[in-house]
Amino acid sequence: MNYEKIMTEIKSVREFKKQAVDSNLLSLIIKETEQIDSINNSDVKLSVIEDGEKFFNDYDGKIGYFGKLIKAPKYILIFGKNDENTKFKAGYMTEWMRFRLHDNDLGSCWISATAGVDYSETFNINADETLIACIGLGYEYGGVFKKNTDKKAERKGPVEFVYDNEFCNLITWEKLSQMGLEEVFYLTKFAPSWGNKQPWSFIVAEKEVYLVMEKTGEGDLDLETGIIALYFIKAAEAKGIKINMKAFDIADGIKVPDTQEIKIKFYF
């Protein structure tokens, strides 16, 4: 895939044509998703809902932002344990799956699970598992008689969310350019987030980059950590930079306010 092209193009699509989606293509994309980047994804389960209309009629009011379910031809449900590592993996692999859908001219959007709801009986899953999120998918509707309002949301620029060695010390574009990271962060900024809040920032050290997440109380920070990590890694990959990462339990002496949390250390 051309990650650079996809990152600048992909957006949340919330209106879909009634056109059928090829089930074989969807099965292939899910199989690829389950094997990406040597990540052990066995604790994240993806389930395809073929009859989108029935699913919408059954679950509108029970799933989604304030219970509002977006109507789509098909859905993919993401199940797993309610812990930070599983939700991180779910965010990473599902956003990659959205890349593959986009690469095949299919639109998609994230749909939130409702916080505090026990989905174990609803979906016949283990008691220690939950519905982490789901996505709606199909061919984007852009009809003659209806204006398509699903525009790509505006984003903060890199020099607004990247810090130089310590939190709140904003980096300059010149410094990013000297490090060869200016285009990496330019692409990273396109990552989606709950309400387009962009609850992340980065602290750039000599050979490490730390991902810091704001404890907003909105959205799912562990899920969003996986999404933004995918963007940073694939943006670096698109620019010929190999990145490794360590997730969670970062104790490198980097100080951040109590309202923030270091989630990932990337290193070159």
- pLDDT, one tens digit per residue, over 247-258 is 887 777 889 999
- Average pLDDT over the chain, rounded to whole? 89
- Check whether 144 has a pLDDT greater than 60: no
Q: Torsion over CA of 235, 240, 246 and 252, rounded to 10 degrees? A: -100
Q: State how far the Cα of 164 lies from the Cα of 227, in Å rounded to an integer.
A: 23
Q: How many CA atoms lie within 13 A of 89 on its CB side?
A: 22
* CATH node for 158-267: 3.40.109.30
- Check whether 149 has a pLDDT greater than 70: no
- Check whether 181 has a pLDDT greater than 90: yes
Which whole-number Å values give the CA distances from 18 to 142, 160, 197, 234, in the listed order? 12, 40, 31, 32
The domain 3-138 belongs to what CATH superfamily?
A: NADH Oxidase (3.40.109.10)
Q: Both tokens of residue 66?
A: 């304030």
Per-residue model confidence as pLDDT tens digits over 89-125:
999 999 999 999 999 999 999 998 877 777 877 888 8
Per-residue model confidence as pLDDT tens digits over 58-99:
999 889 877 789 999 999 999 999 899 999 999 999 999 999
**Comparing 147 with 94, which gets the higher pLDDT?**
94
For the chain, the structural domain boundaries read: 3-138, 158-267
Per-residue model confidence as pLDDT tens digits over 192-225:
988 778 899 999 998 899 999 998 767 789 999 9
Q: What is the DSSP string of 14-74?
A: --B-S----HHHHHHHHHHHTTGGG---TT-EEEEES-HHHHHHHHBTTBSBTTBPPP-SE
Q: What percent of the chain has pLDDT over 90?
A: 66
Q: How many CA atoms lie within 13 A of 27 on its CB side?
A: 4
Q: Quote the pLDDT of residue 203.
A: 96
- Check whether 146 has a pLDDT greater than 60: no
**Comparing 41 with 13, which gets the higher pLDDT?**
13
pTM over 0.75: yes
